[in-house]
Amino acid sequence: MIERYSITSSPLTLKERFGVEVPAYYAPSYNAAPTKLLPVITNTSPNGISTFYWGETPGWAKNKTPGEKLINVRIESLSEKLALRKSLAKTRCIVPADSFYGWKKVGKKTSIPYRFVTTSNSIFSFPGLWEEYEDVEGKEMMHTFTIFTTAANELVSTVQDRMPVIFDRSAELAWLNKDATESELFELLQHNLPLTLNYYPVSPRINDPNVDVPSLITPTPPSDQFGNLTLFD
């Protein structure tokens, strides 16, 4: 499961990379976590940044059970679930990012957080789906998104068994194309971008979703969730 990522770019960098208008309230996130409002670009508004809640439905939203509050969607599940395929046809998005985090288990109570970046430190995106909900009074619409994941590649599998699907600009444009067919969309998800990735350990403070500061992306000696240094790396 992918539970954290970062998008630390400036508004100008986002505008130039994705060709979109960036709202004045946009702020970088060094610890993008579920339930937070985060930037996405949807197939229905491809020329601007929107901010949706990641994964878990806000507490005031109705008509959703806990089991439906998705953070990630496995690409393998698309062929099995008709509801996901309907969403694929209507409500697609891309999620701007410049890294994602993973946790390497080195003992029953020890996990080390790592940050995965491209070797060029470039921006990329994750493909996802978005949904719309009414608040409990039916007066306001709320929006959530989820991220597609796939089996980890050779590098990521040294830390965990899943990774996000990663898109470059050409894949993003094809994904957001309103005329894309289901087979074309499936094909995009099956061919994860062969980026050259690098990774390094970061502070266990990343475990706290309320901590969102620049120092989180600084390389840190490997330590467990309690801050104890470990030789397992």
Domains of the chain plus CATH, in order, are: 5-100+117-195 (3.90.1680.10)
Q: What is the per-residue pLDDT across 145-199, written as a single tens digit (0 to 9) for each?
A: 999 999 999 999 999 999 999 999 999 999 999 999 999 999 999 876 667 899 9
- pLDDT tens readout for residues 15-59: 999 999 999 999 999 999 998 999 999 999 999 999 999 986 555
Phi first, then psi: give them for residue 84, nearest 5 degrees: -65, -40
Sequence letter at residue 132: E
What is the model's pTM?
Answer: 0.88
By the 8 A CB rule, do 126 and 93 touch? no
Token output for 229: 């240094």
